Structure 1
Amino acid sequence: MSAARAPTNKWLVTVSVTFGTLMGAIDASIVNVALPQIRGAVGATVQEITWITTGFAIATVIVMPLTAFLGRLFGQKRVYMASLLVFVVGSALCGLASSLGQVVAFRAIQGLGAGALQPTEQAILRQTFPPKEQGMAMALFAMAVMVGPAVGPTLGGYIVDNFHWSWIFFINLPVGALGLFMVWRFVHEPEDIRAANAAAAAEQRRNMDWLGIALLAVGLATLQYFLEEGQRDDWFESRTITAVAAVAAVALALFVWRELVAKVPAVNLRLFGDAVFTSGTVIGAVMFAILMASMFLLPLFMQELLGFTAMQSGLALMPRVLVMMLVTPIVGRLYSRVSPRLLVAIGVVLVSLGSFDVSRITLESTSSGIVHAILIQGVGFSFLFVPLTTAALSNVPRARLADATGLNSLLRQVGASMGLAIFATLLDRAGVHARAAVASHLGPERPEVQDRLGQLAAFFAQRGFDPVSAREAALRALDGIVRKQSMVIAFEHVLFVTGVLFLCVLPLLYFLKVNRHGPREKVHVEMEM
């Protein structure tokens, strides 16, 4: 018999598996600020360049729920290392790409690698830390998942302003190489997990669920396309979007049926029979919808209406990142002492209060004026992520953690995409209504309107415009003022709605009844410090 492996320090395991997750989370948002530069380099239209983000998102969501399936066949560690290698290779190819087709294809390769990183890290950390420290384990995971999308635009803005756009991809190479070495050296699958996976893999190979995998790929790819491109094509006014939505609905319905009747399903949907897992996962999906909407709306407001650069808007939001990094470990320690339902309730209320506060922004608002609201939101998100991810998996057996983390990550990703799609649409519709409401008060018969036009015409006349041109310029200027004020009203409305909608998840806390000790089973634990 071979000698038993000496346990690895759990913090080395944590650092090792966090590299990939952090890079994947950053890359989901870092590219957005570089799209104008990439578009110019590859000669793409505005419509075409969106496929760089859409292709990455589609590839990511397809892989997430299959992480456990792949882990049973090849081993969790091998899947993580292979995914990280695919991600790094995809990054290198993206940096070397010279055409739109190449960038889109290589971004899809990146997405295939990134999709398995989050759920695999989450499962590894859950299997590495003892039950009493699960909150701290998920706090460390949360810092990578939540901080990544927040840091991405700022880091991307700095790179684009000071270097060539390709470095937003090349920067992943040394970090990825270090992550690969550390995972190879320090991460080892627990014996109980390896034994369970080996037994499950033998049964899985005899009953491969190819139909389920095919339906999953088609359903998630079309759903993600619908969410990513629907707003741009005016949703169901487009025949393409309508057809894609129909295919997604049918494919996902057939997928659910197939997984419930398959002898060995590729994705274990029966986990949703656990009310704690379902409630924690659903609230987490709503949380990410609000988080992504906030990360989309505030930078857009600052850049479009306040005149901030991409990097300036990223720096303005940095206090939220810093407070999340500070508070998240504290919440991780509180988890073992305080009811998860209380922590989540505090988080929901704080995020909603932050949304109500930030909904009062105006054209006179400065970055310092927004800090107070986003700090409240940052504390709220910290109180949400740790107890939700920890509680959702509290009743899941260790051998099924990879299945549960894959589904948990998938719903977070889909929730984020739905949040962006829904709130972008709400912003567009609210802008139209606000413009109509403001314009209704600007009739030519009103003396204050004529006074304002006279002032604007005089301003342009002083700068050399003839009377007719000055009048036309004054009308255009007044139209610009109406447009900006309408967008302010629209932003305020949508940000207020995010707070109201988030409060609606509070009833789901009733189902968040946590078994802190988890299922009774033999537990492998890595060594303490």
Structure 2
Amino acid sequence: MSTATATATPADLVAPRPAVNKWLVTLSISFGTLMGAIDASIVNVALPHIRGAVGATVQEITWISTAYAIAVVLVMPLTGFLGRLFGQKNVYLFCLVLFLIGSLLCGVATSLPALVFFRVLQGLGAGALQPTEQAILRQTFPPKEQGMAMALFGMAVMLGPAIGPTLGGYIVDHWHWSWIFFINLPIGLVGLFMVVSFVHEDPEIRSANLKMAAAQRRNVDWWGIGLLSVSMSSLVYFLEEGSAHDWFESKLIIACCLVAVFSLAAFIIRELTAPAPAVNLALFKDRAFLSGTVIGGLMFAMLMANMFLLPIFMQELLGFTATQSGLALMPRVLVMMVAVPIVGRIHNRLSPRILIAAGVLLVSYGSWLMSHLSLQSGAGHVVGALAFQGMGFACLFVPLTTVALSSIPKHLMPDATGLNSLVRQLGGAIGLAIFGSLIGHNATIARASLYAHVTETNPIAQERLLMVQQGLMAKGFDAASAQQGALANLYGAAYRQSMVLSFDKLFLLAGILFLMVLPLLVFLKYKRGGPAAEIHIEA
């Protein structure tokens, strides 16, 4: 879908139609993607308030996030399949309406089962929004502007997780938690109106999709859809809930892991042999798509791990409120907003490998800076590290998404963007699962090491203990209470320091792991321009 003129039809000869402005198209379809990305993270801030309102336990309330994540990954890979059957624009509009209905119902829900069910509706709607926007932008912008198209898409995808916690914290602090859902309604309605008015499917792409849809209707891949549902549901549950259940100490988690492995293997075999597969896994035979998508998944694993770790560090150890920690993260967002369009403009002038390598080095350097944070660190110490990471992620996202889709035919773009989005989503979930588990593990090791030094034979520990004990006695505590309070203070300080050491170790680990992306650039294949001719959007 670009501004060039396609082959004329009789209707075009009678009444020529002007092309729709590509910037209006971009703005129209960005509303849904941004809302879907924000809703994946905004709820986490409000979980304590929601738990009290619906009377749920700490373990039960996590289903609000898990149900949404499962629903999203179920729809993402089916975007191309649904687009061929019902039309790409129609699928986007239906999913946006479903997302808005789910948002409204979530805001008025009064019980946990109802809220979880409505979050599933929200997730089913959000699942197709991101891949469809990516496909439409690739079809809208001409080949020489593909970098800018992916820059615009990247801003919507990466801004969501960045501003979600900040926005959620502000809403929870100043209004009722239900407004984290209600706020979607006016924004979504504007997006709905703009998509109806300015986004139109190209007749050539629609014609190609209709031919493929006929084969799909004759051979509906029910087995593929069923295996996809089972494998993705069990895999996401395993990743989302594994840490809370102590991983393989839980029979439920073991069962989910086994189901995920075997059903995923069966799904792959089915899709590679089905006459009309619901998910076009054959796209992974394209080396550019495979290499760009895999590296993109690794990038999102590190991105989500960093976005997960830093707010916890600031709130639990530095004493920041949810709003304050969100504001401290804003420099990364602002740097990305400035850097992403610049990278989009210079993308055609530099090798993607150069941009990606620069991004990897910048992100790793930012992680190294964060590995030096301490209990005395303030917002200023965080900002510098985040600025480098913001520039790094900007250098990464644009070339990776452009390279991955560079040789995909335009009528298969929804299939490719659905798989690309799915791998990023799973990469983020894997990053969160691994680093979330390592926090407690590393802290336990560090704490055991520190506690070993809090003994009667350690003069430094005894000096600190005596000083705190005398201070408490000066405030009116008796000798016994002062001694107990001093011990609690000393062990508390050791606990906090162990958490700092754990976080610092994980920040450093994230940077080192990200450097391992550099050798993978050898496998990054890229053909500028892509295989398809420019196609226009009809008004």
TM-score by length of 2: 0.97
Cα offset, 1:526, TM superposition = 4.6
Match of 1:369 among 372, 378, 381: 381
Cα offset, 1:522, TM superposition = 3.4
| Alignment-derived partner of residue 20 in structure 2 | 8
What does 1:38-437 align with in structure 2 at a 5 Å threshold? 38-437=50-449
Cα offset, 1:511, TM superposition = 2.0
Q: 1:4 & 1:68 partners in 2: Cα distance?
A: 29
| Alignment-derived partner of residue 523 in structure 1 | 534
Question: Per-residue displacement from partner, 1:22-64 (whole Å, max 9, x unpaired)?
Answer: 0001111111111111111111111111000000000000100
- After TM superposition, the runs of 4+ consecutive aligned structure 1 residues lying more than 4 A away are none
2:472 maps to a residue whose letter is F
2:203 maps to a residue whose letter is E
Q: 2:433 & 2:240 partners in 1: Cα distance?
A: 7
| Alignment-derived partner of residue 486 in structure 2 | 474
Cα offset, 1:5, TM superposition = 3.8
Cα offset, 1:464, TM superposition = 2.0
Cα offset, 1:4, TM superposition = 4.7
Q: 2:183 & 2:226 partners in 1: Cα distance?
A: 34
Aligned 8 A contact 1:130 1:525 in 2: no
Question: Per-residue displacement from partner, 1:389-420 (whole Å, max 9, x unpaired)?
Answer: 01100011111111100000000000000000
2:18 pairs with 1:18: no
Matched position secondary structure for 2:349: coil
Matched position secondary structure for 1:92: helix
2:28 maps to a residue whose letter is S
1:489 maps to a residue whose letter is L
| Alignment-derived partner of residue 47 in structure 2 | 35
1:37 maps to a residue whose letter is H
Structure 1 range deviating more: 445-454 or 79-88: 445-454
Question: Per-residue displacement from partner, 1:256-285 (whole Å, max 9, x unpaired)?
Answer: 000011011100111111111111111111
Q: 1:146 & 1:49 partners in 2: Cα distance?
A: 26
Cα offset, 1:507, TM superposition = 1.5
Aligned 8 A contact 1:16 1:182 in 2: yes
Structure 1 range deviating more: 458-467 or 249-258: 458-467
Aligned 8 A contact 2:200 2:537 in 1: no
Cα offset, 1:246, TM superposition = 0.4
2:534 maps to a residue whose letter is V
Q: 2:99 & 2:365 partners in 1: Cα distance?
A: 38
Matched position secondary structure for 1:231: coil
Q: 2:281 & 2:16 partners in 1: Cα distance?
A: 35
Q: 2:88 & 2:349 partners in 1: Cα distance?
A: 31
TM-score by length of 1: 0.98
Aligned 8 A contact 1:10 1:527 in 2: no
Q: 1:219 & 1:438 partners in 2: Cα distance?
A: 43
Q: 1:33 & 1:460 partners in 2: Cα distance?
A: 36
In structure 1, stretches of 5+ residues that fail to align are none
What does 1:454-493 align with in structure 2 at a 5 Å threshold? 454-493=466-505
Question: Per-residue displacement from partner, 1:377-399 (whole Å, max 9, x unpaired)?
Answer: 00000000000001100011111
Q: 2:292 & 2:57 partners in 1: Cα distance?
A: 41
Cα offset, 1:331, TM superposition = 0.3
Aligned 8 A contact 1:83 1:116 in 2: yes
Aligned 8 A contact 1:129 1:526 in 2: no
1:395 maps to a residue whose letter is S
Aligned 8 A contact 2:42 2:180 in 1: yes
In structure 2, stretches of 5+ residues that fail to align are 1-9
Q: 1:358 & 1:449 partners in 2: Cα distance?
A: 28
Matched position secondary structure for 1:364: coil
Cα offset, 1:510, TM superposition = 1.3
2:239 maps to a residue whose letter is L
Cα offset, 1:458, TM superposition = 1.2
| Aligned-CA RMSD value | 1.1
Matched position secondary structure for 1:475: helix
Aligned 8 A contact 2:17 2:538 in 1: no
Matched position secondary structure for 1:442: coil
Q: 1:140 & 1:371 partners in 2: Cα distance?
A: 24
Structure 1 range deviating more: 278-287 or 219-228: 278-287
Aligned 8 A contact 1:52 1:103 in 2: yes
Aligned 8 A contact 1:87 1:109 in 2: yes
Aligned 8 A contact 1:83 1:113 in 2: yes
